[in-house]
Chain A
């Protein structure tokens, strides 16, 4: 039977979207559990940020085998920035890397992000998303910095919390 490309691509696309959807929803289900276990005194944002740190620590470990200094500092930073953007894309975002204004600066720009929609669905503040992503990336960079002996930092430059427009993070060497 001949292949109907439209049908097959549609099938893959639907599977991808439902998988990404499930990733987001699973996160918010666990967020509820974690906040409940943390007790009334705990702030939900603190719980979410702690989760971001734990995720970042684990994801950072998986970054290390890919880190490579053979192309020098610039090449290394580009590999790292692309890995961070790639992570965002895997989670349903649409992120790209651009050079920043100054040498050694790279901008990770995300123009589409489904996370605010999921946050809304589960009654979580949308503002939390950008803060959590920033914290997760910062934690990833802790191990990478130590591993490569290069102090690195990442800062949130711009966040459109409602999922429209653009979220921008700047990756650079920490002085």
Chain B
């Protein structure tokens, strides 16, 4: 008889009717899980650099536990060796000693308080580890492809035995801390995957050779952990269904499926199915990859094993996982970044509040931060990692109700508006456009998934409506209007001002504005120079290249995409190359001529670039209305691109921070 930890009845949840397969129980080992939802273990760098759990980490997990409405909620993978060779992140939780158990128990308790199933993950980071040590370890000393990782030391047989024992000891600590289900991480370049892959395992002993030999370490770990966990605590493993390492002679898909079968034989109670390594040259989870791109791998896995298969990877909305579970091609919907962006995402699905979900935009800023030793943050969710700060995460109602005029219905203005209204202020949002969204109306037209950015505005608009914000669209705010309304507070979220070319020919007819081009209001010639090499310029260049234009970018930043996080920037570099876009960085336009422009490098070299049209994408702060507001003695805040042109994330974070301050 399978054990049930918490009783859940979803019959009153509207989402359970819309997505019936997501809210059906499933047996994993001897454990009955009430639904098919899992918050997958995700590093957050929120723990102490000594590996101890912090308040920030506990509250982060508590919110995700509430979000899974009774499902599986896994804390981040723990490292297990005192020498810290297995530690891949500076704020990774540790479990190499019993002294960590009380802290880990706080997380298990927080998950249980939400009546969710507490998952514990064992994660030796292998060749991507040793973030605080000089050498990482692996089955073979294969040089690192990426310089950010430490040199690899080849493990002796004694080292391997020690690592297996470390997994077993850490699992015991997880059990003592109160966790209900155990998971071994064997993916993306972590130690177990290093043993499994032909790319990183060249051993000639029993831990190397063919796929069965390369699975030996994984099998010993599964069997050892199973033994210490006993019959009531299921043990699963995360394994690559495709390593995407064919360029460096990694495992074939057939070998990967063989590894699934061997894991099942060894006693694994489930497999979490993944794709790609950190060293893969293929994109896996960025916005340019279509939703559901990898779900066929779950189906393939199910054709090879009989234990439950779980999967995340570009499954941001409930429809597809519900359908695939119904079709028997998937068993559990894993969620990672979508619950970083909105910790209560599945709960909102269950409660029929999908319109209130703040969707992940797959920018990978969260990952970029982790690899740069910074605490987790989210591009789109300002509260992420601040859950423990009550005044920030759940601000109190305002002590004094104010009449707030917000100028600009872009992401900064909307974010500020609903937070201020929710706290009891009377909020009026004005915009000279007759639609909300500000410059995101144009930015969403860029290719490679940028339409997903619009989900931010959809969410904010719903939240504004529910908070009682009054909109005045199609109304341009002037000094007279401010004097007439005399609000208590004005928030300027007017967006940026587009730069002019301060050079001979700067008033040429061939110069057009990025917004007009992206909205289709203005046509362009066959050859185009985009002035500005930040994200807006890149988006515009790609948009025009997709229309068949010959595009050149001229920009003053030393590298194109300077303002894009490195985990996404590499995608843009490849797409610009693929679309034949020429990029001149660290230079300026010296003159606009009849034939095109004359560019000038930082060191004075000049050259002509032929073009029919010049698109200006460089932006500056918007100073208009500031003096009027100040002269009236009205409280003033400037946010978003109006303050300093940056990105969508800065707009949302600015808006939130001012919204909770008013």
Contact = CB atoms under 8 A, between A and B. Distances in A.
B146 interface: yes
Given A8-B605, A8-B607, A11-B604, A149 B145 contact: no
Contacts of B144: 61, 64
Interface in B599-623: 603-608
Size class of the A contact interface (CB-based, 8 Å): 20 to 34
B146 A65 contact: yes
Contacts of A15: 603
A92 B280 CA distance: 34
A39 B605 CA distance: 46
Interface stretch (A28-36, A127-135, A140-148): A140-148
Label chain A's interface by main secondary structure: helix
B145 A64 contact: yes
Interface in B205-250: 246-249
B451 interface: no
A122 to B, nearest CB: 28
Given A61-B143, A149-B202, A69 B248 contact: yes
B605 A11 contact: yes
A147 B248 contact: yes
Contact of B143 (A1, A11, A70, A143): A143
Given A3-B598, A3-B608, A8-B605, A147 B246 contact: no
A67 interface: yes
A174 interface: no
Contacts, number: 47
A12 B605 contact: yes
Contacts of B202: 149
Interface in B294-317: none
A26 interface: no
Nearest to A11: B605
B394 to A, nearest CB: 45
B577 interface: no
A90 interface: no
B130 to A, nearest CB: 16
B591 interface: yes
Contact of A3 (B145, B247, B607): B607
A64 B247 CA distance: 11
Contacts of B146: 65
B605 A61 contact: no
A18 to B, nearest CB: 12
Nearest to B141: A146
A15 B605 CA distance: 10
Contacts of A143: 143
B142 interface: yes
A61 B144 CA distance: 8
B248 A67 contact: yes
B372 interface: no
B604 A1 contact: no
A62 B246 CA distance: 20
B521 interface: no
A68 interface: yes
Given A1-B591, A65-B146, A148 B249 contact: yes
Contacts of A64: 143-145
Nearest to B279: A65
B147 interface: yes
B247 A68 contact: yes
A119 B50 CA distance: 53
Nearest to B599: A3
A3 B603 contact: no
B608 A147 contact: no
A65 B142 CA distance: 13
B152 to A, nearest CB: 10
Contacts of B281: 68
A68 B281 CA distance: 10
Contacts of A61: 143-144, 147
B247 A149 contact: no
Most buried by A among B591, B603, B605: B605
Interface string A32-61: 000000000000000000000000000011
Contact of B249 (A62, A69, A146): A69
A120 to B, nearest CB: 30
Contacts of B591: 1
A64 to B, nearest CB: 5
B219 to A, nearest CB: 24
A70 B145 contact: no
Nearest to A65: B145
Contacts of A148: 248-249
A112 B607 CA distance: 29
Interface string B138-179: 000111111100000000000000000000000000000000
Contacts of B608: 3
A62 B143 CA distance: 11
Interface string A91-124: 0000000000000000000000000000000000
Contacts of B604: 11
A148 B606 CA distance: 43
Interface string A126-165: 0000000000000000010011110000000000000000
Interface string A54-92: 000000111011011110000000000000000000000
Nearest to B604: A11
B142 A69 contact: no
B142 A146 contact: yes
A73 to B, nearest CB: 11
Contacts of B246: 69-70
Nearest to B593: A2
Interface of B: 141-147, 202, 246-249, 281, 591, 598, 603-608
Interface of A: 1, 3, 5, 8, 11-12, 15, 60-62, 64-65, 67-70, 143, 146-149
Given A3-B608, A61-B143, A147-B248, 7 more contacts: A3-B607, A11-B604, A64-B143, A65-B146, A67-B248, A69-B248, A146-B143
22 contacts: A3-B598, A3-B608, A5-B607, A8-B605, A8-B606, A8-B607, A11-B604, A62-B147, A64-B144, A64-B145, A65-B146, A67-B247, A68-B247, A68-B248, A68-B281, A146-B142, A146-B143, A147-B143, A147-B145, A147-B248, A149-B202, A149-B249
| 7 closest cross-chain pairs (CB), A and B | A143-B143, A68-B247, A64-B145, A147-B143, A3-B608, A70-B247, A3-B606
